[in-house]
Structure 1
Amino acid sequence: MAKCIHCGDDESVEIHEVYGYRDFLLDTCCESFHKDVVDFLNKDPKTAAKWLMGLSDGILLQMQQPKLRRVIDDGLGSLMLDWNLTLVPVEQRTAKEFVKRHHRHCPPPAGWRFGAGVSNGNGNLIGVIMVGRPVARTLNQNEILEVNRLCVRDDIPQGLVWNACSLLYGWASKQARQRGFKKIITYVLESESGTTLRAAGWVPELKTSGGSWNRKTRQRVDKTTTQPKIRWTAPWCQDQFTLQPENLGATA
């Protein structure tokens, strides 16, 4: 058996305990070697998953979870199993309750055509997407869809929701096309990067001027932010164009 380069004892690592569906503890010969093992687990997830399966004598296989995606740090110094994301069906009521509890600055939308959720390993929702009619009255309500709300949990380690947003955006785009709509759009705050939209293949289309929805002829109470936003659309959509950086000042 090899000697540990840190403590000089025999290298030793074993799964000390597995509890719940995500958490486990490793027992190693010393703290420094424990750090080396953690770095290894995070560097090569596929190899790490196979290694863990063998190390645990099949205990992870007995948990009957989806395929292991990564091993992450929970931010508090403990390792955590990150399972492959799974799209799951959700009802409107469930999606609205999720948004009401977890969205940072917007309430649940009233409209609904379809939606979906995403889970990480145990069936519990970590994110939802709600697709409905366009909020702007000038847009064609029969040919265009809008992602009215996308929300992922921010009260769990963020490694667990990695790629969840782009997965949901990609699903919504595919659904809109299959259902015969000509376009699907969504809006994000100007201050947001849009990284998850780009990862799903969406493109920025125009910048709105922001402002209140309240008008003398149509009294409204603003329930969401009135900041300027960027409108994004899926790449297959008709009449879409890419908003170039020099055109970010264009408004609609």
Structure 2
Amino acid sequence: MIGDDYDPGATGTPTSCTEPLPCLFCGAPEFVEIHEIWGHEFMLQTCCEGLHQQIVQDMDDDPVWARALLRRLKIEPLTGQRLRRVVDDGCVGMILDWQLQLGSASAGQVRRFIARHHAHCGIPTAWRFHRAVFNGRTLMGVAIVGNPVARALSGRGIVEVNRLCIRRDTPAALRWNAASMLYGWCAQEAERRGFQKIITYTRIDEPGTTLVASGWLKEAKIRGRGWHSTRRPRSNANGWIDKIRWSRALHPRSHSEPPPRRSETSCEASMLTGWTTVGSVFGFTPA
């Protein structure tokens, strides 16, 4: 077994005045390096098959040691990513779980992501700003913030997280903490823009664990109702389910007024006010 003092950078050429220890399996100098990395998967190269099997077993038994080993093998400089954990994907073996990072995504990417991955809601027509979260180079989730859907809450310095979507077609370990990170960013960005409060809704059958972790509070229980009318046709697929409204009070540093409401008729005006609408999706990235 490779001990804590093992130097994974050792090869046939000594790195110090001490020769590399002989391999317990083949007798040659111990040798291990990263052979290939693709996405969240990786491959090691060793001096023999016996050492390779032993390292794989030790990594599976002790993920903390596995992360330390890969860091000593310079995996972070090689990839430009910060390694969070080495985890079992529940299927074929160990995978690389990179540190989550907030980043930019185009409006088109956001729309396609929600259309593909959201469990029960469609794409909103318009919103004010959005953000994405990545695990390495993998887009894990998006959040979009706009005006409150309920007209009674509009014009009161309140914005709403209209959609928060995390993909479910990847191992659960890769998306750990992604939703909480997005909820936290939405509140911080709304506060920076001068809003007084931010709200969102969850279905009654959803626990809201990520909202609690991000400092949100339960505000009200909303009875399910349909929004369809002859003048404003809407889908009622998700409307009849009771919901919980969550909120978080904000404390903006400035007393500036919230951004003006978008024009109802002009896509050009929507670009000037920082909105993303159906007509301004392509070629425009919101603030």
TM-score under structure 1 normalisation?
0.78
1:50: which partner in 2? 68
Q: 1:171 aligns with which of 160, 182, 185?
A: 185
Identical pairs, percent: 39
Deviates more, 1:220-229 or 1:171-180: 220-229
What letter matches 1:170 in structure 2? G
Distance in 2, matches of 1:65 and 1:203, equals 37
Distance in 1, matches of 2:238 and 2:108, equals 20
Query: Is 1:21 matched with 2:39?
Result: yes
CA contact (8 A) 1:15 1:24 kept: no
Q: Residue deviations 1:28-59, cap 9 Å, x none?
A: 65968744431311xx3xx54332222x3x3x
Which structure has the larger Rg over C-alpha atoms? 2
Report matched runs for 1:126-205 at 5 Å.
126-141=140-155, 143-205=157-219
SS in 2 for 1:148: strand
Q: 1:88 aligns with which of 103, 109, 115?
A: 103
CA contact (8 A) 1:107 1:224 kept: no
Report matched runs for 1:172-251 at 5 Å.
172-215=186-229, 219-236=233-250
Tell me the number of residue pairs that the alignment of Structure 1 and Structure 2 aligns: 225
CA contact (8 A) 2:198 2:250 kept: no
Report matched runs for 1:103-142 at 5 Å.
103-122=118-137, 124-141=138-155
CA contact (8 A) 1:131 1:148 kept: yes
CA contact (8 A) 1:92 1:112 kept: no
Query: Is 1:37 matched with 2:59?
Result: yes
CA contact (8 A) 1:145 1:183 kept: yes
What letter matches 1:80 in structure 2? I
Q: Residue deviations 1:186-212, cap 9 Å, x none?
A: 000110010111111111111100121
Distance in 2, matches of 1:20 and 1:110, equals 36
Query: Is 1:98 matched with 2:113?
Result: yes
Distance in 1, matches of 2:241 and 2:53, equals 49
CA contact (8 A) 1:204 1:233 kept: yes
| TM-fit CA distance, 1:219 | 4.7
What letter matches 2:70 in structure 1? L
SS in 2 for 1:111: coil
- Which stretches in structure 2 are left out of the alignment for 5+ residues? 4-22, 253-287
Distance 1:15 1:231, change over 3 A: farther
SS in 1 for 2:62: helix
CA contact (8 A) 1:109 1:148 kept: yes
CA RMSD, Structure 1 to Structure 2 (Å): 2.8
Distance 1:32 1:77, change over 3 A: farther
1:241: which partner in 2? none
TM-score under structure 2 normalisation?
0.69
Distance in 2, matches of 1:213 and 1:144, equals 21
1:6: which partner in 2? none
Distance 1:28 1:179, change over 3 A: farther
Q: 1:73 aligns with which of 83, 88, 102?
A: 88
Distance in 1, matches of 2:2 and 2:118, equals 50
Deviates more, 1:15-24 or 1:166-175: 15-24
SS in 2 for 1:115: strand
CA contact (8 A) 1:106 1:225 kept: no
What letter matches 1:109 in structure 2? P
| TM-fit CA distance, 1:93 | 2.4
